[in-house]
Amino acid sequence: MSDFTIRVARPQDARQIAAIYAPYVEQTAISFETVPPTATAMLRRMDDVLHRYPYLVAERDGRVLGFAYAHPFVGRAAYDWSAEMTIYLAMDERHHGLGGALYRKLEDILRAQGVLNLNACIGCPKEDKGDEYLTYNSVDFHKHLGYKWVGLFHDSGYKFGRWYDMCWMEKILGEHKTPAAPIKTFPEVRKDFGL
C-alpha cells in the first residue's frame, strides 16, 4: 500500500489524531484510558514528544490515517537508549500494511538517534481468543515486526467491568557497546530523513 505519505505530525493534525484515538478509548481495552483526550490535550502530547522523539502520521489526500510515536521508557537517564512505542490507526485503515510502514519509518529514525531498545506495552485479554474489547491483534502485529515477548503483568487494567493483563514486548535495534554512544534528539536527525 503506497497511496499515503508519512510525515511529522503538525499542530493542525491534533483534531484528526484525537478522532482516530477516541474509539480505542471508548470501545476497546487496547487503550487503558477511559476518557478520550481532546484535540488540545493531544496537541500538548505531540509537543512533549517532538522535543526528543519522532511523532509521525500517515496521510492520504489531507486525511490522517494513523499515527505512531516513541516516548521515554520510564524517564530516568539510564534508560535513554530505550524508547516506548505507540501506534493507532483509523479503524477502517487497519490490516492494510499502514502500521508496518509507520513503525519501520519510526524505527529508522530511532536507530539514527542511537536508541537500541524498543518497548511495547500491550493490553492482553484473559481469554485465549480475546473478548469483544480486546484481541491479540496488537501482540501479533508486534511479533510480525520482530518484537519478542518479554513479560506479563497480571490484572493491570480494569475496564468494561473486567481485568486485563499487560504484556511487554521488545525489539533490539543495535549492539549495546561500551561506552554507549550519546543519544541524539529527533530535531538533530530530522533533516536526514527529509521530514
- What does pTM read for this prediction? 0.94
Please list the residues that pair with 169 across neighbouring strands.
120, 149
Write the pLDDT tens digit of every residue in 49-108: 999 999 999 999 999 999 999 999 988 999 999 999 999 999 988 878 899 999 999 999
Write the pLDDT tens digit of every residue in 3-27: 899 999 999 999 999 999 999 999 9
DSSP 79: G
Cα–Cα distance between 182 and 67 in angstroms, integer?
Answer: 27
Sheet holding 55-60, edge to edge: 5-8, 55-60, 63-72, 82-89, 117-124, 162-172, 148-159
